[in-house]
Amino acid sequence: MEQVTDHILAAARKVIAVHINYPSRAAQRGRTPEQPSYFLKPSSSLAVGSAAAPSSVERPAGCELLGYEGEIALIIGKPARRVGIEDAWSHVEWVTASNDLGVYDLRYADKGSNLRSKGGDGFTPVGPGLIAADAVDPAKLRIRTWHNGELVQDDTTGDLLFPFARLLADLSQLLTLEEGDIILTGTPAGASVAKPGDVVEVEVSAGEPAGLTTGRLVTRVEEDTTPFADFGARPKTDDLQREEAYGSREAAGLAAVGAILTPELKAKLESVCTATLSSQLRKRGLNNVSIDGLTSTRPEKRIVGLARTLRYVPNREDLFKTHGGGFNAQKKAIDSVNEGEILVMEARGEKGTGTIGDILALRAQVRGAAAIITDGGVRDFSAVAAMDMPTYYANPHPAVLGRRHIPWDTDITIACGGTTVQPGDIIVADADGILVIPPALAEELADDSIAQEREETFIAEMVQQGHSVDGLYPLNAAWRTRYQEWEAGKAHD
C-alpha cells in the first residue's frame, strides 16, 4: 500500500475542512446545516504519523482545550473546476486518515476563520497509508478514533449530510481544487480533548473491498512551554467552549442543567408567585433582582428556567460588517439554547429596533426554550405573540438589528431591564414580573416561599371571615398560635 510521504505533504497547496457533515455530530452540536461550510488550514499544519513513527503536536502554553477530531481526508489527483456531482469523485486520487486538531482557547480570536485555533504546526496529521479512491465506494468508508487506547469515534459515510462528491462539486464552483490539495470531510460524534501525554489514533477502512485500511495515524500530545507574546491574542476559555470541546457538559465535568434546576426545585418555584419570591429575596438583602419594564406575550404563564445570555452593543457600521452578518452571536445564541432554558438579551433598553423576530423566535421554540427576554424591541410582533413560547419585550418595532444594535457576545454576564443576569441564574416570571435568582439560594428560597404562601392562605381566610389585619398581617404571637393550629388541622385532613 502507498504511504503518505513528505512529497505528498509538500504538494498540498490548500487544506480545506468542512465544519459539520455527520448526523451524529450535528445532533451533538444541536444544529444541522442546510449547506456545507468550510475553513482553510495552512499546509504548514500538516504532519505524518504512524505506529512506528508517531507525529507529535504541542498544546500551546496556557491552553486548556486541545481538541481532536478523527476525519477522512481526500487528496485531489487532478484539478477540479466547476465539476458536477456525478464527475467529482474521479478527481480524487487518494483517501487517508486525518486528525483535525485545534485549541478551543483561541477559537474566539479569528471570528470563525479558525486560523490560530486550528492552524498551528502539526495540527493536521494525516496518513499513514493511502487508499486508492477508485478502489472504494465513498459511501462505504469507516472512520474510527482511539484516545489512549479507548475507541471514542466509530462511524461510517453511509448517511453523511453532504456526500464527498457534493463537497467537491460545491467547492469547485468558485475555486480550483489543485492536484495535491487535501479535503478534510468532517468528524462524527465522539471528538473530545487530549492532554499532554495522551495518544490519539485515527484509522480509515473500506467496507468493500474488505481489508483496505490506512493503518493507524498516531499522534502524541506534548506541552509547549513558550508563553504567548503580549502583542497578540491570548488563550481564554469558558464553560461553553469546554462543553463544545468535550462534546457535553457532563464530559467536561460541568454541572448538568438538571443538576442545577432539578425537577423538584423547578416544581417548587413554579408553585409560588414572584411577589412571594421577591419578598424572600428582600429578606436576604437582594433588592435589585427584577427585570423591569417589560411586557409578556403570554402573561398567563409562569416560567422557570436557567438563563442563557446574549449582549448587543450600539451599532457602529464598520463593526456591524464584521459582527452583524453570517452566523453571528444572535444566531449562535438562538441555535444553542437548550430545552427549558431562557435566553435573556441585553439591548440597553433601546426601543428603536428589533432584537428578535419570528424566524429566530420559532427556532428557539423548536429547540425547547422556555422563554425569550429582551429589554429591546421585537420584530414580526404578531407572529411572535402567537407562539406558545412567551417572549418578554419592551415594545414592537419593525427595524432590523443594524439600525441600533450589533450582536456581540453570548453566555457572559449582562444587564437586562435594570439588573444583572449571569448564565446559569434561575429566572422565574409570571404576571407580576421577572426575577433573577442566584442558584445557590434557590432551594431555601423556594421552601421559605412555600411556607410564606401557606401563612398568607390562612391570613386571607381570616380576613374573609371579617378579622382586622391588625396583628394578623403579619402574624403576631397570638395569631401565629392560631395559624399553627390551623396548619395542624390541615395536615390531618
What's the burial of 457, exposed, middle or buried (CB within 10 Å: 0-12/13-18/19+)? Answer: middle
Compute the distance between CA of residue 450 and CA of residue 448 in angstroms, rounded to an integer: 5
- Both 233 and 106 in a single domain? yes
End-to-end CA, the chain: 82
Whether residue 256 is contained in a domain is answered as: no
Cell of 131: 487508499
Compute the distance between CA of residue 228 and CA of residue 234 in angstroms, rounded to an integer: 6
- Count up the domains in the chain and report the number: 3
DSSP string, 124-164: EEE-SB-EEGGGS-TTSEEEEEEETTEEEEEEESTT-SS-H
pLDDT per position as a tens digit, 294-306: 999 999 999 999 9
Q: Which domain holds residue 424?
A: 288-437
| Percent over 90 (pLDDT), the chain | 77
* Mean model confidence pLDDT for the chain: 92
pLDDT per position as a tens digit, 219-274: 999 999 999 998 999 999 888 788 889 988 788 887 665 567 888 999 999 999 99
114: number of Cβ within 10 Å? 20
Rg for the chain (alpha carbons), in Å? 28
The pLDDT, as a whole number, for residue 325 is 85
What's the burial of 237, exposed, middle or buried (CB within 10 Å: 0-12/13-18/19+)? Answer: middle
Q: Regarding beta strands 192-194 and 66-68, do their DSSP bridges make them parallel or antiparallel, or are they unpaired?
A: antiparallel
3-class state of residue 167 by DSSP: helix
DSSP state of 78: S
Q: Compare 228 and 402 and report the one with higher pLDDT.
A: 228
Among the candidates 404, 419, 437, a domain finishes at 437
The pLDDT, as a whole number, for residue 183 is 97
- Both 326 and 211 in a single domain? no
pLDDT per position as a tens digit, 325-382: 888 999 999 998 989 999 999 999 999 999 999 999 999 999 999 999 999 999 999 9
**Residue 32: C-alpha distances to residues 29, 121, 238, 305, 367 (Å):** 8, 30, 24, 25, 12
Whether residue 380 is contained in a domain is answered as: yes
- Both 73 and 88 in a single domain? yes
The pLDDT, as a whole number, for residue 492 is 64
**Residue range 133-149: average pLDDT?**
95
The pLDDT, as a whole number, for residue 257 is 56
pLDDT at 208 over 80: no
- Both 75 and 166 in a single domain? yes
Strand partners, 429: 303, 434
Contact (CB, 8 A) for 309 and 344:
yes
**Residue range 76-82: average pLDDT?**
96
Looking at residue 122, its amino acid is G
pTM of the model as a whole: 0.61
| Percent over 70 (pLDDT), the chain | 98
pLDDT at 27 over 90: no
Residue 353's contacts (CB-CB under 8 Å, 6 or more residues apart) are 376, 377, 397, 399, 400, 401, 403, 404, 405
Compute the distance between CA of residue 12 and CA of residue 47 in angstroms, rounded to an integer: 12
Q: Compare 211 and 67 and report the one with higher pLDDT.
A: 67
Compute the distance between CA of residue 415 and CA of residue 311 in angstroms, rounded to an integer: 8
Cell of 265: 426545585
9's enclosing H/E stretch is: helix 6-11
Q: What is the CATH number of the domain that holds 36?
A: 3.90.850.10
The pLDDT, as a whole number, for residue 71 is 98
**Residue range 405-428: average pLDDT?**
93
The pLDDT, as a whole number, for residue 33 is 87
The pLDDT, as a whole number, for residue 401 is 84
Instruction: Single out the residue of 80, 82, 102, 106 nearest to residue 91, CA to CA.
Output: 80
Whether residue 257 is contained in a domain is answered as: no
- Both 213 and 337 in a single domain? no
The pLDDT, as a whole number, for residue 462 is 93
The pLDDT, as a whole number, for residue 226 is 93
DSSP string, 276-321: HHHHHHHHTT----EE-S-EES-TT--EEEEEEEEEEEE--HHHHH
Q: Compare 131 and 440 and report the one with higher pLDDT.
A: 131
Whether residue 130 is contained in a domain is answered as: yes
The pLDDT, as a whole number, for residue 256 is 61
- Both 366 and 422 in a single domain? yes
Residue 169's contacts (CB-CB under 8 Å, 6 or more residues apart) are 83, 84, 85, 87, 88
- Both 455 and 409 in a single domain? no
Contact (CB, 8 A) for 372 and 380:
no
Handedness of CA 175, 177, 180, 186 (dihedral sign): positive
The pLDDT, as a whole number, for residue 249 is 76
Contact (CB, 8 A) for 142 and 207:
yes
**Residue 247: C-alpha distances to residues 172, 252, 322, 330 (Å):** 32, 8, 28, 22
pLDDT per position as a tens digit, 448-457: 999 999 999 9
- Both 363 and 459 in a single domain? no
Strand partners, 373: 344, 392
- Both 364 and 224 in a single domain? no
**Residue range 477-482: average pLDDT?**
91
**Residue range 51-73: average pLDDT?**
95
**Residue range 430-446: average pLDDT?**
93
Compute the distance between CA of residue 183 and CA of residue 174 in angstroms, rounded to an integer: 15
Whether residue 264 is contained in a domain is answered as: no
Whether residue 91 is contained in a domain is answered as: yes
Whether residue 260 is contained in a domain is answered as: no
pLDDT at 209 over 80: no
Contact (CB, 8 A) for 163 and 139:
yes
Compute the distance between CA of residue 182 and CA of residue 96 in angstroms, rounded to an integer: 10
The pLDDT, as a whole number, for residue 171 is 97
Whether residue 325 is contained in a domain is answered as: yes
- Both 135 and 201 in a single domain? yes
Compute the distance between CA of residue 473 and CA of residue 8 in angstroms, rounded to an integer: 84
- Both 43 and 166 in a single domain? yes
- Both 327 and 392 in a single domain? yes
Q: What is the CATH number of the domain that holds 424?
A: 3.50.30.40
